[in-house]
Amino acid sequence: MKKVNRAQCANCTCSPGLLSRTNRRSSLLNRRISLKRTPSGSIPSSPSRKGSVFNLDVASLCLPEIKEVNTSQRLSSLRNAMQEHDTSLGVYIVPSEDQHQSEYTSSVDQRRSFISGFQGSAGVAIVTRDVMCMNDVPEGLAALSTDGRYFNQATNELDFNWLLLKQGAKDEPTWEEWAVIQAIQLSLDSGSEIFIGVDPKLITSTAAEKIEKIITEKLSISKYSKAEVKLMAIEENLVDKIWPQFEELPQRPRNPVRVLSQEYHGKDAQDKIDATIKELKAKNTNGLVVTALDEIAWLLNLRGSDIEFNPVFYSYLILTIDDGVTLFTDSERILEKTAEYLKGNKISVKPYDAFWKDLAQLSSSFKLSNTQSKLLIPETVSWQVSRTLKCSTEQSRSPVEDLKSIKNATELAGAKSAHLKDGRALVRTFAWLEDQLVNHSELIDEIEADDKLTSFRQQEANFEGLSFTTISATGANGAVIHYKPVKGECSVINPDKIYLNDSGSQFLEGTTDTTRTIHFGTPKPEEIQSYTLVLKGNIALGSLKFPENTTGALIDSIARQHLWSYSLDYGHGTSHGIGSFLNVHEGPIGIGPRPNAAKSFLKPGHLLSNEPGYYEDGEYGIRIENVMFVKESGTSYNGKNFLEFETVTRVPFCRKLIDLKLLTEQEKKWINEYHQTVWNDLSSSFVANSLEYKWLKRETAPL
């Protein structure tokens, strides 16, 4: 599609973010797309899509009716609220997370999306206020910082008020550095002290310490020495304060909490609590504060539905060796069966909001204790938790997070079962989609494909919902790593372009996450080459043997090596941990270049993804994602055991995108064996000679 130059637009204030939200094509734009089904452009009575092209009238992009409301008024209101709170408040930070540091949040906690318009799951908004400005409309800057997964999406979603800080890009400041520099400049310009404000419940104590360290470092530079800058905790959230001026403030969900059956978790809550206490004693600590929602759900074998795609519930938990476990959650959500279960496990229940008072009391009792009582607080707790505690503490990774990440036999069997179900649904979807697009020349958009996939998943037993928003992307949309199609405003799937589907389910048995990239027509040579290089990386990692005490950072290049040989790469991690009927993204493990991937050894029982990719902006996206777990290989060297991966995903690769000349004999053997396993496990699910049976047989045939 031709890019629009601003000189072509009568409205010089337009920006990509106002033209397209979440990289959507509006329904109006879709109506202006002309599918030319023959070279001449005529539409035959029996239409064929072969050789179709998309023509777009560039001038139509700037029509006023396509635009959405910009963020100018919201930013003005926020700056007014900053001034009302403190005349020296010059910078305000709006994180993505809720007070439990959740990656995905419910609507009431989506403050960053509200103020910026950016809908991605990761990012930080920073808003500045010119403290010297005397105008009726306050002035300042606004920046959104996010990582490489969301650069394209943010460019499309942010309006002209916002600057995009590309996290990790060369010579780009971190959001903390940018915020501090802005505050310093405001201080130098005004000659007064400037505060950087943030809701202390929404950032970690580690993040607050980092900001304070950067402030100290910058102020030590001679040209900044006259500035006065401090970090301020603002307990009244200023975005919440202005939100009702524009739309109704969402209510916090209070959905029922239910007990997960033994057949799905494999380990009683009391056993998990005992294992946690054992870890506390090993660290010479007497208690633990748990704020991460998935950790609480796993520890107590409870599940909820407060956050879309994540079977968790709003809660806090305090565990002490002497007093046991106290769960803080709203009583109306605890039904009779759950209440009996909690009582039977000697778990006390108090109101959600009582946590802060009890935390302060616990801090006082530990401080006054004659013994060397010490409280363990995870690195992920909020700054507000750290500010509340006045007793002796030790900060480290939560022992619950480590225990949770190693799946037991029941959880691993559940992961296999869940991926068999998901595999059936994906095979049915791809077979149906190919038939509709190629054989019947139907116009199927990205959401229709997603809806069909969801309908097949719903037919599987114990389906509880999706594990994240499906990425159903045709052509250039696939190059947006976390693309989000919107009903009525998404693209029609073009069978002559690459189609990428990244999706997952929540089953009682486990959580799935699968990405397949397919082509329904005749792919271009460069598309085949790129796909094959990504596939080679996926195979290299999936078939790797490695010694114990190996981190994910150490083996990340295994998946990138074949792309690197062509001077290609991808801007996201290679792997993330996956929960067991819990969050689809789970710490502490991962494979990638980020520091967190270097902090944890891969151990038997770890369940994680394998998802190298390649993205050609404006053209296509390729990602191949399997889920696998770590297990003993049965081999050792020099006293060290070697580990390996076992893949549980059951969906074939796209044959027509594979260049056999680029594959080694060992890689062909691996693919053939994998496809034979897929065929063996899934073929009996389908009626012989049915559409999906034939599709599966063709796609899993030996290379």
Q: Is the dihedral of CA 475, 481, 485, 490 positive or negative?
A: negative
The H or E element spanning position 421 is helix 409-434
Q: Decide if 91 contacts 195 (C-beta within 8 A).
A: yes
pLDDT given for residue 373 in this prediction: 79
Distance CA 108, CA 244 (A): 12
pTM as predicted: 0.87
Strand 613-616 relative to strand 620-623, pairing: antiparallel
Token output for 606: 């770890």
- Residue range 133-144: average pLDDT? 93
pLDDT given for residue 147 in this prediction: 87
Q: Decide if 228 contacts 193 (C-beta within 8 A).
A: yes
| 368 — pLDDT class (breaks 50, 70, 90) | low
Query: Whose CA is closest to 131, among 194, 220, 203, 37?
Result: 194
DSSP label at 468? Answer: S
CATH 3.30.930.10 holds for 409-664: no
pLDDT given for residue 15 in this prediction: 34
pLDDT given for residue 153 in this prediction: 84
Distance of CA 321 to the CA centre of its chain: 35
Residue 299 has pLDDT above 90, yes or no: yes
pLDDT given for residue 10 in this prediction: 32
pLDDT given for residue 56 in this prediction: 35
For residue 236, count CB atoms less than 10 angstroms from its CB and return exposed for 0-12, middle for 13-18, buried for 19 or more.
exposed
Distance CA 97, CA 457 (A): 29
Distance CA 378, CA 389 (A): 13
- Residue range 278-287: average pLDDT? 94
pLDDT given for residue 7 in this prediction: 32
What fold does the segment set 72-245 form as a domain? Creatine Amidinohydrolase; Chain A, domain 1 (3.40.350)
CA dihedral 630, 635, 636, 642 (to 10 degrees): -20
Q: Is the dihedral of CA 168, 174, 175, 181 positive or negative?
A: negative
Asked whether the domain spanning 409-664 has the same topology as the one spanning 258-397, the reply is no
- Residue range 554-563: average pLDDT? 98
Q: Kindly report, residue by residue over 572-626, the tens digit of the pLDDT.
A: 999 999 999 999 999 999 999 988 889 999 999 999 999 999 999 999 999 999 9
**What are the residue boundaries of the structural domains of the chain, listed by start?**
6-66, 72-245, 258-397, 409-664
Q: Kindly report, residue by residue over 387-404, the tens digit of the pLDDT.
A: 999 888 899 999 999 999
Helices (H), 466-614: 525-542, 552-564
Which CATH architecture describes the domain 258-397? 3-Layer(aba) Sandwich (3.40)
DSSP label at 482? Answer: T
Q: Decide if 580 contacts 607 (C-beta within 8 A).
A: yes
Query: Whose CA is closest to 608, among 332, 412, 346, 389?
Result: 412
